[in-house]
Chain A
Amino acid sequence: MSLTWYLVVSALIFCIGAGGVLVRRNPLVILLCIELMLNAANLALVGFSRMHGNMDGQIFALIVMVIAACEVAIGLGLIVALYRRRLPIDVDELRELQG
């Protein structure tokens, strides 16, 4: 089975994730979409690793997972903080930082 299919699936998932980040307004969903993008990247890394017979790619994927976990922790923390302050759970409403 050629590498192409892995990469096609990876690209599809990445695009779905990116599209989700762009179109959804709920921060929770945006966080999920970011996870999708990261995992698409992981899939590509593992795929390359298998093809070249080099373990570096898989180790890199593991590291990405760790980072993703951290990122989710911070993201969820922010969402909880928003919820506690009774702010709207909508990224379009949170735009005080405009110029």
Chain B
Amino acid sequence: MSLETYGWLVLAFPLGGAILISLLYKVLPGRAAGVLGTLAIALSFLSAIGAFSELQSLGEEEKQVVAVGWDYAVSNGVDAQVSILLDPLSVLMMLVVSGVSMLIHLYSVAYMGGDRGYARFFAYLNFFVFSMLLLVEAANFVLLIVGWAFVGAASYFLISFWYRRKTATDAGIKAFVINVLGDVGLVLGTFFIFQGTGTLDFLKTFAEVDQVFSVNDGDLVAGCILLLVGAFAKSAQVPLHTWLPDAMEGPTPVSALIHAATMVTAGVYLIARMHTLFEQAPAAGDVGAIIGCLTLLIAATIGLVVTDLKRVIAYSTMSQIGYMVMAVSSAGYAAGMFHFMTHAFFKALLFMAAGSVIAAMAGIQNLDRMRGFRRAMPFTFGCMIVGGLALSGIPPFSGFFSKDEILALLFARDDWHIVLGVLGYVGALLTAIYTFRMIFRAFYGEPCEEARELEHGHLFHAEHPTNPMTGEIEDTDVGFPGPEHHIAEREFPMKVAMGALAVLATIGGVVQIPGVNEGLHHFLEPTFADSSLYAELEPSTTATIIGMVVGAGLGLLGIFIAYTLWVKRPEAPARIRERFAFAHKVFVNKWYFDEAIDIVFVRPTAWLGRFFATTFEQVVVQGAFVGGASGLVGLASAAVRRVQTGYLRYYAALLLMGITSLGAYFLISA
């Protein structure tokens, strides 16, 4: 089969799976919906591998293939086609998205087993993967926007999956609203660029951009900043990140899917895909790099104090995406995409392990309640450690290579980007601390009641299932989490998925080892052939080695600090908390972003809404427009009514007067 066929198949399988499961949800028995969904994504992954091998057989110059499905809206000046672009960047994204999604589907087959919305879950999940694949394969802005909006919608479905939980539906709405804000940015940015180049096709746009726009042209910078707004909203960068921690209301596999394979990496992909534009508008790229750096620090500090297991990992995602955005905004495309890939492996793994722990706690996510799961859940513990080491950047785990590659490239820029690099190392230290804080708190120490029960071979079940956020008692019926919990130790599909990811998280770094193997960099070269910085931006060998040593050292130091604080001297954290009460308060309140957004946007909008509902509508619309028009008609008809007296002689007089005046007029004018 040809490359184009594989490209279309990658899209067709998840879409077909979503439709099939939606239609058959009533007749699919047991776990059939899950198997069907997993199979669809597995076939999609196989097609992606097929596309990869076809792409590799092409020559270096031909590795950008556009397959046109049909014309969507092609007229004079608009060239919106349903077309997909297959180049190394999109194929890499396809491989990672479909591969990791396949494992998450496999995990969900068991993990969501007790839930009443089982088939619905897999239909959404398949649709989510389809949307993300559409986004990465789009060959023009129109299809990109379609995929972009689909991903937003799918995330809303999945975050609000337990739709009778008030907190979950609120979180879904929040995610959707912020994502729509990003959609608006993306659409407006597209207009700015389309206005200049007159084409919606990516390759044509890239070819024309340096002729149409001068460097740092106002329109182009504005367009790129608007694209960045879209990227920030999707990728949870400051200040549009507040939806991401709330998105933890969804089932754990959804968190894994949103954070690892799909959705949040869309912004990184967008910047990498638009690199030609960003290199022509370096000012916009600088904005992206600075925001990415800010995000990685802010998220890391919040991660230090959050007590919700899943939210710790959520903030670490924000932080890691910050690294990626920083990398791709500073021309470190291969490094950014490399980190995206390794991050997908270890983040999915961490979420799966967290899901297993949460299941053992019967839905409770609070770290304060968890202790000593090490002996009760050895497999989960092992996976968590592997994921944690990869996240902290300890050699030889995958995260080590990708993170250091990003930071080395920042230093290689040899200008103010060095500051970002230094802050990146600070973030790396914080990453190691909060990751192992989470692991030590959940797995070390005296086992808690749930862990002891599990050691005796009995999985804890709450007497009354409750909402972990509010403590409200919940039903286990449809629209709420199901009554059964599944842990990795007892479910084969979960074990397979986590095992595969653990292997990938360990060895995923081999595709790009500085000085040894430049595989990924070389693979992505055709996509970034027009980049002026891609080829020449090369850190020196000594810088690379120093960076790696420093990175590994900081990671180990972080783990050591976490070990001292939360294992050896458990009374120390409270003392530190008191000592730095102000900082702790700021971190616990997430830097007051929610409050600030509430004051700056939500409240004025709500006030304006109330004003329009009560005052404007009552007075202006009801009073002036509606009342005015009807009053005018009433007045006029009252006047006309007065004329209709019913007196015959009166009418006769009017008639006479009328004819007389008419006659007089003609006589005089004659």
Q: Which A residues are within 8 Å of any B CB, using their own CB?
A: 18, 21-23, 25, 30, 91-92, 94-99
Contacts and interface: CB of A to CB of B under 8 A. Distances in A.
B653 interface: yes
Contacts of A95: 645-648
B643 interface: yes
Contacts of B643: 99
A3 B147 CA distance: 96
A99 B649 contact: no
Interface in B630-654: 640-649, 652-653
Which 5 A-B pairs give the minimum distances between C-beta atoms?
A: A95-B646, A99-B644, A98-B646, A99-B641, A91-B648
Contacts of B644: 97-99
A81 B109 CA distance: 94
B649 A22 contact: yes
B68 interface: no
A97 B646 contact: yes
25 contacts: A18-B656, A21-B649, A21-B652, A21-B656, A22-B649, A22-B652, A22-B653, A22-B656, A25-B649, A30-B648, A91-B648, A92-B648, A92-B649, A94-B646, A94-B648, A95-B645, A95-B647, A95-B648, A96-B646, A97-B644, A97-B646, A98-B644, A98-B646, A99-B642, A99-B643
Contacts of A23: 649
Given A21-B652, A22-B653, A22-B656, A92 B647 contact: yes
B640 A99 contact: yes
Contacts of B646: 94-98
Contacts of A25: 649
A98 B648 CA distance: 10
Interface of B: 640-649, 652-653, 656
A99 B644 CA distance: 5
Contacts of A91: 647-649
A99 B645 CA distance: 7
A84 B330 CA distance: 106
Contacts of A30: 648
Contacts of A21: 649, 652, 656
Nearest to B652: A21
Given A92-B649, A94-B648, 14 more contacts: A21-B649, A22-B652, A22-B653, A23-B649, A25-B649, A91-B648, A92-B647, A95-B647, A97-B644, A97-B646, A98-B644, A98-B646, A99-B640, A99-B642
Contacts of A98: 644-646
Nearest to A97: B646
A10 B136 CA distance: 98
Nearest to A98: B646
A92 B646 CA distance: 8
Contacts of B647: 91-92, 95
A51 B652 CA distance: 32
A1 to B, nearest CB: 25
A92 B652 CA distance: 12
B387 to A, nearest CB: 86
A39 B652 CA distance: 18
A30 B648 CA distance: 10
A95 B649 CA distance: 11
Contacts of B640: 99
Among B644, B645, B648, residue most surrounded by chain A Cβ atoms (within 10 Å): B648
A68 B364 CA distance: 104
B640 to A, nearest CB: 7
